Amino acid sequence: MLIRLRKHLPEAEIQAILAAADQMGFQARFLDRERELVELSGPSRPDARSRLEDLAGVRDVLDAGESRELFARDPARRSSPHAGDSVVSVGQARFGAGHVSLIAGPCAVEGAERLIEIALGVRERGATVLRGGAFKPRTSPYSFQGARHEGLEWLRRAKLESGLPVVTELLDPRDVELVGEIADMFQIGSRNMANTPLLSEVGRTRKPVLLKRGFAASLRELLLAAEFVLAGGNENVVLCERGIRGFDPNTRNVLDVGAVAHLKRATHLPVIVDPSHAAGRPDLVRALARAGLAAGADGVICEVHTHPYEVHCDGHQAISLEEFARLTADARAIAALDGRRLVTDSAQETVS
Ligand code: PEP
Ligand code: MN
């Protein structure tokens, strides 16, 4: 590791830093006469960078060397595509290492009948995971907060009827067991990306986690949020770029495709895009899904509805089943362009 100290540090502060490094098992060696550049050799440990950055006298960590956080991709494997990628499986869906999968469904579950209709519809058109929130994180306390316990029941029925695994949002660490009974994958939403007790709680499970980027979160903040889950021993984390705050009202958010490309280099974790919350309107969803996949995304999560005018939540951005079928065809073609494969349940996919 290579760290840089602040200029003209008093000797006592230098000694405190050396003591901290020693405690972490590192041998320190100054590389310059000013005693600002310090080479640390020793064990590879994921906590080294953050612990050193926390010390008042440390200006920055110039090179973490082998001391990588758990999310980090081995730099030696950055150039060969998919080498060292983690794969996260949810039922038949596979994310990462050249596998691309699609998650689709309503924003919120608002009734069993519609949910089952949508589940069967998206399954036939290439989705391998059903989405749908029972607990909804709404911006206003007066907006529909989700069907909650009843919603979980509807998800259970839709799973049974369609055979699709489900991803549903977890809002409260106290609900891990309750939601975990039905969810095959926990969704941690944008508004909760930095909720560390919640992240630690899902880190204690071994269930896949879909971690959405906060709408004003840096990529390092997203990766460190994932680190909370990984540090608990849960390796099944899928990151999701869902758009960041912009200034132009034509789209709800700005899909950060640069983030997708960067994340694919920075981490071995799978990365997917959510074009629905980025666009905020159905006519741009397919274009953004294509852009995300072209940038290297390992999958797409999107909102699909058969009766968008009936719903309380995000009906204005849901795409139709027909549009979802077109998105699936695009995803298959784009994945194939760089030797990747769209994973579908071919036995189910009858509509193309
Ligand atoms: C959602 O997926 O419905 C949702 C609320 O997403 P986000 O957390 O990205 O806003
Ligand atoms: Mn939504």
pLDDT in tens, 93-103: 999 999 999 99
Task: Report the largest interatomic distance among the alpha carbons of the chain, rounded to a whole angstrom.
Answer: 73
Are residues 179 and 30 part of one domain? no
Tell me: pLDDT of 46 over 50.
Answer: yes
- Please say if the pLDDT value at position 351 is more than 70: no
Give the CA angle between residues 9, 51, 38 to the nearest 5°: 45
Same domain as 116, residue 39: no
**Does 205 reside within a domain?**
yes
**Does the beta carbon of 190 sit less than 6 angstroms from any atom of ligand 1?**
yes
Work out the average pLDDT over 103-113.
97
- Nearest Cα to 255, choosing from 281, 225, 276, 282? 276
Tell whether 277 and 204 lie within a shared domain.
yes
Residues 58 and 143 in one domain: no
Average pLDDT on 139-159 reads 96
Q: Lowest mean pLDDT: which of 78-87, 144-153, 204-213?
A: 78-87
Mean pLDDT of the chain: 96
What is the 34 CA–ligand 1 centroid distance (Å)? 50
- pLDDT score at 79: 67
Quote the CA–CA distance of 255 and 274 in Å, as a whole number.
8
| Same-domain check for residues 93 and 59 | no
Question: Which tens digits make up the pLDDT trace of 243-280?
Answer: 999 999 999 999 999 999 999 999 999 999 999 999 99
The CA 184 to ligand 1 mean position distance, Å, reads: 17
Cα-trace Rg, the chain: 22
* Burial class of residue 95, CB neighbours in 10 A (0-12, 13-18, 19+): buried
Q: Has residue 180 been placed in a domain?
A: yes
Q: Is residue 347 included in any domain, yes or no?
A: no
User: Are 44 and 123 part of one and the same domain?
Assistant: no
Burial class (CB in 10 A: 0-12, 13-18, 19+), 222: buried
Total number of domains in the chain: 2
- For residues 59 and 178, membership in a common domain is answered with no
Give the model's pLDDT for residue 352: 42
Ligand 1 pocket test: which of 103, 167, 169, 192 has the largest number of ligand atoms within 8 Å of its C-beta? 169
Residue 143: CATH number of its domain:
3.20.20.70
Within a domain: residue 21? Answer: yes
Enclosing domain of residue 151: 88-342
d(CA 299, CA 89): 12
In terms of domains, do 207 and 315 share one? yes
Residues with CB under 5 A from ligand 2 (ion): 107, 314
Closest approach atom of ligand 1 to CA 190: 8
By alpha-carbon position, which residue is closest to atom 3 of ligand 1? 107
Q: Is the CB of 344 under 6 A from ligand 1?
A: no
| Shared domain check, 95 and 57 | no
Closest CA to 232 of 213, 218, 211, 212: 211
Q: Which two tokens stand for residue 70?
A: 């758990």
**Torsion-angle region of 328 (φ positive above 0: left; ψ -120 to 50: alpha; else: beta):** alpha
In this prediction, residues 161-168 reach a mean pLDDT of 98
If asked whether residues 182 and 36 sit together in one domain, one would say no
Q: Which ligand is nearest to the CA of 301?
A: 1
Q: Which atom of ligand 1 is nearest to the CA of 240?
A: 9
Mean pLDDT on 75-91: 85
68, part of any domain: no
Does one domain contain both 103 and 53?
no
Enumerate the β-bridge partners of residue 241.
Answer: 273
Q: How confident is the model at residue 202 (pLDDT cuts 50, 70, 90)?
A: very high
Within a domain: 72: no
63, 80, 96 - which closes a domain: 63
